[in-house]
């Protein structure tokens, strides 16, 4: 397993991950956007609806895109990810898909720090497939996936963006 200087911000849908990633980017940090959001946006651009999205193909596309992204990034550069590969493990598990390929992909690189965002009030958007109950369940799957892979999660409680950023940056300064 290759140790990296990559830091993951994860959590259930609508937990504030993307807002934190965007703020970190504004502060000048190297960030990597959420692959799933990009993949869903591309499917919707082909005149499909959220209901028409076939989960197995979507999850495989997301996984392959994430693996390809990580192969091309420098392992020693401090990078913040909006979700990591273990998030795919959670989604595969949630949808009852075979996780063999995902677990293998998760064993190539080891993220330095995992920040788990606790859920904020749920907000629907144009690419969010889940409702509030499903989002909460997926959040549990995500938490469990990282733990199953041996990660210690730094929990970000429901706080302001600024307070969550303080927690993140205080942990980065220690490393």
- Please check whether residue 38 is in contact with residue 147, taking contact to mean a CB–CB distance below 8 angstroms: no
- Please check whether residue 63 is in contact with residue 88, taking contact to mean a CB–CB distance below 8 angstroms: yes
Residue 74 Cα distances to 2, 14, 77, 109, 129, angstroms: 11, 29, 6, 11, 32
Place of tokens 């369940």: 137
The total domain count for the chain is 1
Please, where are the H alpha helices in 27-149?
35-45, 55-71, 85-94, 100-106, 132-148
Q: So what's the pLDDT on residue 32?
A: 92
Residues 6+ apart with CB under 8 A from 153: 114, 115, 116, 143, 146, 147
**Structural domain of residue 133, as residue ranges?**
2-174
By C-alpha distance, which of 86, 108, 84, 88 is closest to 97?
Answer: 88
Pairwise pLDDT comparison (55 vs 6), residue with the higher score? 6
CA distance 101 to 81: 21
By C-alpha distance, which of 98, 87, 91, 70 is closest to 1?
Answer: 70
- The DSSP bridge partners found for residue 31 are 80
Task: Please say if the pLDDT value at position 52 is more than 70.
Answer: no
Indicate yes or no: pTM above 0.85.
Answer: yes
pLDDT tens-digit series, residues 93-131: 999 999 999 999 999 999 999 999 998 777 767 666 778
* Average pLDDT over every residue of 36-59: 77
- Kindly report the CATH number assigned to the domain that includes residue 87: 3.40.50.300
């Amino acid at each position: 397993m290759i140790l990296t200087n990559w830091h993951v911000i994860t959590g259930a849908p609508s937990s504030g991950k993307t807002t934190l990633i965007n703020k970190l980017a504004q502060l000048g940090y190297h960030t990597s956007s959420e692959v799933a959001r990009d993949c869903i946006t591309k499917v919707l651009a082909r005149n499909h609806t959220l209901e028409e999205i076939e989960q197995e193909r979507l999850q495989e596309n997301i996984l392959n895109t994430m693996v390809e992204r990580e192969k091309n990034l420098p392992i020693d550069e401090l990078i913040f990810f909006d979700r990591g590969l273990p998030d795919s493990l959670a989604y595969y598990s949630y949808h009852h898909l075979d996780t063999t390929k995902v677990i293998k992909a998760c064993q190539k690189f080891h993220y330095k720090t995992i920040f788990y965002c606790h859920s904020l009030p749920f907000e629907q958007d144009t690419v969010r497939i889940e409702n509030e109950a499903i989002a909460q369940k997926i959040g549990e799957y995500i938490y469990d996936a990282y733990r199953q892979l041996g990660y210690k999660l730094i929990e970000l409680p429901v706080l302001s963006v600024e307070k969550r950023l303080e927690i993140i940056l205080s942990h980065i300064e220690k490393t």
